[in-house]
Structure 1
Amino acid sequence: MIFRMNHGYSERMHVTNHNSEWRNCTHTAPLQMVITHETTRSNVIGQAINPFIRVAEVFVPYQVLEYRYVKIPVQIDITQEITRSDVIGTPINPFTGIAEDFVLFIRRYNDYFTVTTRSVADTAEQYLYGLMQSDKRNMERMAEVVPDSDEQSFQNFISNSPWSARVILNQISIDADSLFGGDPDTCLIIDETSFIKKGVMSVGVARQWCGRLGKVDNCQVGVFAALACRSHVTLIDTRLYLPKVWINDPDRCRNAGVPEEFIVYQKKSEQALDMIKQARNNGIRNNKVGVDGGYGKEPDFLRGLDSSGEIFMADVHKDQLIYLENPEPTVPEPKSNRGRKPTKLKAQTDPIRVDEWAARQPEDAWQIIPIRETTRGTLYAYILQERVWVWDGEEEEAHCWHLIVRREIDSPKEIKYSLSNASKDSSIERLAFMQGQRFWVERASSKTERVNAVSMNTRFAVGMAGITIWRL
């Protein structure tokens, strides 16, 4: 399949992009060729600069693939009216279907790149092709592998062209919701990922916690929202976190292209709440929200979810304090008539750390519960569940929520703690399933780290978040 590019294949397994000498040639590929890790891309498809190959690599591992003789016409525009068989006959080639679906899918969004009398849809497509096929995903390297493109066009497209990233993200979230929104297992998962940087010019770059490295280092941090349903997951929104060192230097923000309305400090948990509210405004039909310990440790964040009617499953750190009985916060009576009267609330019972509580439980209290299906069968884990009270020291009333503790069967020292405001009659099996759904978005985030690094350098905040989502 070829689109707006002049590719030809020859018997000598050589490909050129703009040379009529090779037009309408036939590339002979071996039948029943066993592809191993040692087999390079050039062994399989020649030396083609082909924007579809990277797409195929993402989805289809090189494992015992079957190829047939394929004649690929040159300079053909793929439309919905042109079928796969019209383009390349009937090859048994999994790359073809992926490529065709990819091209047709991204062209659904062409109208969003049309502003006033000018369209940058072609550049948007080229940018996506570059993300897919470039080994190093920066604009210079992308322009080298995408014919008829150049780095300056990419820079202008990202930084200056007036298309709206917000509008595209909204549409992507609505499209994702049409696939599995409303399913009882659909959840909105908040996660962050970091992008390692060496310089100081990229928007939001600073010495801060880098999750990829597990330490403080120079990086950018993005907060993402993903819609997940069992093993299916896709990113639908994102925010770029601006550390205080940036907010406290407005000139630096302006020089980097940060709009005035964004030069206001927001905690990551506040950005997460904004994305959850945006999802509801877009009509996203998720039944719960999942977050990791970086957000679960924020009492105001959990309060915000609870007060807005969102069901959540929030990981917490092992030092999270809980109450086994209602602490019934009250202001103590003054001990004498002298001095100031007490004004702060005080719990009537003592708290305990979640790890200390779990360590006290007898072995027969742990239940073996199925978590999810894997390629090797059903994954099980030991689970503890208890109704506990959580109080932040300020609210007038404590919250009675579920505490879920998970211990891996093969790694007994690997223990995970979570709080949930799900209904009190929720089964332990259901709670364990909800707790395990973060696995899928963590996989999506790992892909995002590889693809979206170039996007976080450009068009402040949300630049090409939609690009990342398309890729996943």
Structure 2
Amino acid sequence: MNEDWRTDLDCWLSPFITALRHKTRARMCPAYIAGLIGPGDRKSVQPMAARADEVGYDQLHHFVAVGAWDSAPLEAALLKKADDLVGDKAGFLVIDDTALPKKGCHSVGVAPQYASSLGKTANCQSLVSVTLASREVPVMVGLRLFLPESWTGDPERMARAGVPKDRRTALTKPEIAIEEIDRIVASGVRFHCVLADSGYGSSGPFRQALSERRLLWAVGLSRRQNVYPADVALIFPVAKTGKPRQYHVPSQPPVAAEALLAKEKWQRVSWRRGTKGRLTCLFAARRVRVADGHKHRMLDNRMQCMPGDEVWLVGERRSTGEQKYYVSNLPADVSIKTLAATIKARWICEQAHQQLKEELGLDHFEGRSWTGLHRHALMTMIAYAFLQSRRLSAAGRKKKNRGTTATTEHASHQTSYPRPLRTISTQAMPVL
């Protein structure tokens, strides 16, 4: 990109500056975001301040970690920008989490916990992430810290880290995700379907909460999750002795998702074109009822969950031999190709996580407080949205200069990621 990127950034940030309503903060916000986008391997406050001419360390640190200002108006402005960029009634809202490795034990939320990006348990902070995506272009719109039990069970520790009083209750990651979804839906952001991995999809209350909000969803599922065939009936068996049963029971026993799909017809499905050709895998799909309804005691004294609503159960067999399972409330008449394309659209959030960390310093914040961490995360999301806006504008200009009249499918390839996003030098912003 050309050398006027700073001017463009100042103009693009206008709604955020207005939301801050403070002259000094109006200077610090662009300076902080420019520091994240600009050169340098380290994007913590001290090195960013050292590279900046117009602001000092104390000013930047006060802005992000100490200053008394509300981030909600900036979060609302980010949602508006994201909707303008990729909001689409055919788009996706992707729920996931990302880990920030940390040393020590004083940074808010840090604890030994599973880090999906590392594939193992590590000392880290874990953030629930929400990504709005369309045409394979992601914009991160939410990052909220998960507090493990070692924190929620220690009020003094939470107080020292500045955890707000209304956030000191224990919440699971699916519960945090539902709060974020409610915030985003209330803002009017456009999307078609909620996507999540099995860490969220295996939670019955999470799926039910999405359905109660009349949202479409496609989420990962444990292969051990019990399901019923869609044609299961509810009956009242007649007892030979004793009182008659007060509640109905399923006519068939539930089986594991893996077992139910094992004998199904698996077919090779291609869902989109990648850099090395068409992306394909073996898929199988069947209508089922997940065993996540209310529990009844059976005749043999076992507690058994009743059938829930009818949904799609989808299996995926990868070339590596790995098998994955998913469940979705997409309509009963959708094709298996649509199911596969919807499920696989979730992976775009991993690219956003990587770029936020490697290029914008999401995991570089060195403060310990709840407020500082969330403000830093918000600044990285705003910076990322700005870079995505520049990239989409550049793609649009290139397409216009070619004088093409692309189809919708071709346009989606134009705006997908042929290569990673790159950061900005002090002289010029590179072509994205």
Give the alignment's TM-score, normalised by structure 2: 0.78
Cα deviation digits, residues 37-85 of structure 1 (max 9, x gap):
xxxxxxxxxxxxxxxxxxxxxxxxxxxxxxxxxxxxxxxxxxxxxxxxx
Identify which range, 454-463 or 264-273, moves more after superposition: 454-463
**Equivalent of 1:414 in 298, 314, 322:** 322
**Equivalent of 1:452 in 362, 367, 380:** 362
- Asked if the contact 2:42–2:364 (Cα under 8 Å) also holds between the matched residues in 1, the reply is no
Aligned-partner SS, 1:96: coil
- Asked if the contact 1:239–1:462 (Cα under 8 Å) also holds between the matched residues in 2, the reply is yes
- Asked if the contact 1:191–1:292 (Cα under 8 Å) also holds between the matched residues in 2, the reply is yes
Identify which range, 212-221 or 326-335, moves more after superposition: 326-335
- Inter-partner Cα distance in structure 2 for 1:229 and 1:369: 21
Q: Does 1:428 align with 2:336?
A: yes
CA RMSD in angstroms, aligned pairs only: 2.5
Counterpart residue number, 2:206: 301
- Inter-partner Cα distance in structure 2 for 1:163 and 1:328: 57
- Asked if the contact 2:161–2:368 (Cα under 8 Å) also holds between the matched residues in 1, the reply is no
- The amino acid across from 1:398 in the alignment is G
- Inter-partner Cα distance in structure 2 for 1:307 and 1:193: 27
Q: How many residues align?
A: 369
- The amino acid across from 2:57 in the alignment is E
Q: Which runs of 5+ in 1 are unaligned?
A: 1-93
Residue 433 of structure 1 deviates from its aligned partner by 1.1
Residue 316 of structure 1 deviates from its aligned partner by 1.2
Residue 418 of structure 1 deviates from its aligned partner by 1.0
Residue 165 of structure 1 deviates from its aligned partner by 1.5
Counterpart residue number, 1:74: none
Distance 1:329 1:203, change over 3 A: farther
Q: Does 1:471 align with 2:378?
A: no
- Inter-partner Cα distance in structure 2 for 1:347 and 1:282: 41
Aligned-partner SS, 1:234: strand
Q: Does 1:173 align with 2:79?
A: yes
Cα deviation digits, residues 363-392 of structure 1 (max 9, x gap):
xx2222221222233322222121111121
Q: Does 1:243 align with 2:148?
A: yes
Distance 1:359 1:171, change over 3 A: same
Residue 414 of structure 1 deviates from its aligned partner by 2.7
Q: Does 1:290 align with 2:195?
A: yes
Cα deviation digits, residues 229-287 of structure 1 (max 9, x gap):
12111011221111122111111111111111111111110111111111110001111
Counterpart residue number, 1:405: 315
Q: Does 1:125 align with 2:37?
A: no
- Inter-partner Cα distance in structure 2 for 1:468 and 1:331: 57
- The amino acid across from 1:235 in the alignment is M
**Equivalent of 1:151 in 34, 40, 57:** 57
Residue 167 of structure 1 deviates from its aligned partner by 1.6
Counterpart residue number, 2:12: 105
Of structures 1 and 2, the one with the larger relative CO (CA 8 A, separation 6+) is 2
Q: Does 1:216 align with 2:121?
A: yes
**Equivalent of 1:226 in 127, 131, 144:** 131
Structure 1 or 2: more helix by fraction? 2
**Equivalent of 2:223 in 315, 318, 321:** 318
Give the alignment's TM-score, normalised by structure 1: 0.72
Q: Does 1:356 align with 2:259?
A: yes
Q: Which runs of 5+ in 2 are unaligned?
A: 296-305, 385-432
Distance 1:389 1:201, change over 3 A: same
- Inter-partner Cα distance in structure 1 for 2:132 and 2:122: 29
Aligned-partner SS, 2:363: coil
Residue 219 of structure 1 deviates from its aligned partner by 0.6
- Inter-partner Cα distance in structure 2 for 1:343 and 1:217: 49
Distance 1:454 1:248, change over 3 A: same
